[in-house]
Amino acid sequence: MGETTTIQVKKITRDALRSIGHMGEDYNTVIELLIREHNRNELVEYSRNVVAERKDEFVSIDEL
């Protein structure tokens, strides 16, 4: 692992991170997982917005 830092979190947050991770995973791995999940959720939300905003541009497969 590269350069590390110390971040301050409340005990309840630490415990929540601990419950998300699996045996042997460090907090960095858990945080990376959460970041990936967050990015995935943002992509899904963006995609839904594009579909909703451009609904009239899509063609039904039945019409092809």
CA distance 23 to 18: 9
- pLDDT-based confidence at residue 58 (cuts at 50, 70, 90): confident
- Helices (DSSP H) in the chain: which residue ranges? 11-20, 27-53
Determine if residue 63 is left, alpha or beta; phi over 0 gives left, psi from -120 to 50 gives alpha, anything else beta. Answer: alpha
For residues 43 and 51, the answer to whether their CB atoms sit within 8 Å is no
Q: What is the mean pLDDT of residues 14-24?
A: 91
Bigger pLDDT: 2 vs 12 = 12
If one counts every other C-beta atom within 10 angstroms of the C-beta of residue 34, the result is: 13
1 has pLDDT over 70: no
